[in-house]
Amino acid sequence: MIAEEAGPAYCDMTGKRTDWFSRARFGLFVHWGLYALPARGEWTLASDEWNPGEYEKLAERFNPESFNPDLWAQTAAACGMGYVVFTTKHHDGFCMFDSPLTDYKVTNTPFGKDVTAMVAESFRKAGLKVGFYHSLPDWTHPGYADRESPEYMRGGVLHEPSPEQYRDFLDFLYGNVRHLLTAYGKIDLMFFDYTSKYKADMDYFGRERLLDMVYSLQPEIIVNDRLSFYKENTLDFDYYTPEICIPNATFTVKGRESVWETCATMNDHWGYCASDSGYKDVHTVTAALAGCVSRNGNLLLNVGPDASGQFPEQAISLMNDIGEWMKSGRESVVGCGACPYTPPFGCCYTASGRNIFCHFLTPPVGDLIVPGLKGKISAVELLRTGEKFELIDDWGFELLDEHEQRIRTRGVKRGDVMRITLKV
């Protein structure tokens, strides 16, 4: 029996700081930086040919004339998203904020404004929580080198940072994070990306020192797990971040159910890539979202704005479709969590209080046979149309076991959601 209580009955609600996050369930990831100009994704500095200094010169051309963060925030809110995670600095080292520690930053471009501040303000105003992505690797800092750095990817060379360079690198990382967590108001979430196994083993970024600083500056913040290497976690993190995949069960770390979020691209790139038109459709995204929620997780859907500051057309069209789905589908994901019952064929369950939400990954061929709910259902309704469905108790029992309930569905389309309300 699902306990009747406010909010999600089956979520891990032990952590006070992660409570808002587990309720929100859906967020917007934004990958935006100088790489929007060459339009080949955010790894272009490492994976494509660049003459020395050529990439850095892109800063002289960064002037997104159509950048309207209010519009970004409204679009996200209409999609039912509860938070944003914005790339303050990616591996290319370019700061999308007014770093006090480098000139290689957005405030030194023709655009001249602190886009991180603008993004934070707009999303906050629209009622969303604000998260910062910050890359731990920095390909342009001499105090950092790994096998994914451009020097190695393109030239096969890997320099060994001197102790001074390493110290400078840490000062730079800590100084930037300190600035981000003091000059931009309340920051709800920090997404550090990423540490290789090698760098994790040597604790290159000084995990505990960094986290101590983060929590002392923003006591309510939540921080992801990428200061460690995958599940070989040396610490318990606020939440865990699988990438572009849906785990098959709730997420367990060190034997404890944990808060998690999968991040996923809309097409096949995080940063804007002009030639990548392979966008997912709305069903893929809403099914992925339902899949995450059904395992007590979140979905962080990425968009890569172009150099003019706009979301790509196909991203807008996808987000419009998601917004349309959310008009009725919202209650089936936001504030919901896993359900203990087994869903029928072709469906996925999420739950909140007395309601089970049945997400149709594929339309039913006719009647639906729901396991374990015989005698427990008080009403069944299709969210998109408001149509009530009939429980069939006198037909086809020879096929059913005593706990199965047959439901007559009508007009169900792929991606629809049916609310099953249980008796008190």
Q: Which residues bind ligand GLC (CB under 6 A)?
A: 42-43, 193-194, 243, 263, 270
Please state whether beta strands 368-370 and 405-408 pair in parallel, antiparallel, or not at all (unpaired): antiparallel
Q: Which is nearer to ligand GLC, 62 or 194 (CB)?
A: 194
Supply the minimum distance, in Å, between the C-beta of residue 273 and ligand GLC.
12
Supply the minimum distance, in Å, between the C-beta of residue 319 and ligand GLC.
19
In 230-306, at which residue ranges do the beta strands (DSSP E only) sit? Answer: 252-253, 256-257, 260-264, 297-303
Short-list 242, 222, 218, CA closest to 230: 242
Collapsing DSSP to helix, strand or coil, 288 comes out as: helix
DSSP states along 74-133: HHHHHTT--EEEEEEE-TT--BSS--TT-S-BGGGSSS-S-HHHHHHHHHHHTT-EEEEE
Supply the minimum distance, in Å, between the C-beta of residue 44 and ligand GLC.
11
Q: Which is nearer to ligand GLC, 62 or 270 (CB)?
A: 270
Q: Which is nearer to ligand GLC, 132 or 325 (CB)?
A: 132
Q: Which is nearer to ligand GLC, 10 or 311 (CB)?
A: 311
State the alpha helices, DSSP H only, in 218-361: 282-293, 313-329
Supply the minimum distance, in Å, between the C-beta of residue 351 and ligand GLC.
28
Supply the minimum distance, in Å, between the C-beta of residue 407 and ligand GLC.
40
Supply the minimum distance, in Å, between the C-beta of residue 396 and ligand GLC.
48
Token pair listed for 146: 């790994």
Q: Which is nearer to ligand GLC, 30 or 339 (CB)?
A: 30
Question: Which helix H or strand E contains 164, and what residues bound it?
Answer: helix 163-180
Please state whether beta strands 189-193 and 129-135 pair in parallel, antiparallel, or not at all (unpaired): parallel
Q: Which is nearer to ligand GLC, 150 or 329 (CB)?
A: 150
CB of 389 within 8 A of CB of 380?
yes
